Amino acid sequence: MENVKVKKEIVNQELKQKKKHYIDWKCIVRGQIYLAEMYDGIVQEVLVISNNTGNFYSGVITVVEVLNGKVDVTQMNTISKKRLLAYVRTIGEESMKLINHQIRVCIIGIDNMAAKPVAI
């Protein structure tokens, strides 16, 4: 899945045509990929990595950017749910296990390894 950065106006027009512009903020789940407005109106695919309880009650979520089908867990961001523009898909269980391991490597420093990008 090719990841292309586009301006918010273009994405909003496409979402209105596809009628995918409504996101239920209470149903955001860890492991889902969304289009989100990140910096200066640039739209980027992001993977939700924050826990589901926090996703339900909080107004913010923790995400990592998806670039060329890979996620780099060293680039975690906390963003407002209001920045989410459209649901894209949910990643598989095996991919999420690899990402969980890379998050532990990145945060805790286990296995004396450096976190590496994970293909999804």
Domain boundaries, the chain: 6-68+75-91
- Check residue 9 and give its pLDDT: 60
Give the model's pLDDT for residue 49.
96
Q: What is the pLDDT of residue 1?
A: 41
Query: How many Å apart are CA 33 and CA 43, to the nearest integer?
Result: 13
Q: Which of the four CATH numbers 2.40.33.10, 2.60.40.10, 2.30.30.140, 1.20.1250.20 does domain 6-68+75-91 have?
A: 2.30.30.140
| Gyration radius of the chain over CA positions | 14
Q: How far is CA 102 from CA 16, 27, 66, 109, in A?
A: 36, 25, 14, 9
What pLDDT, on a 0 to 100 scale, did the predictor assign at position 15?
A: 55
- Record the pTM: 0.76
Mean pLDDT, 10 residues at a time, the chain of 120 residues = 51 54 80 92 93 94 93 91 94 93 81 67
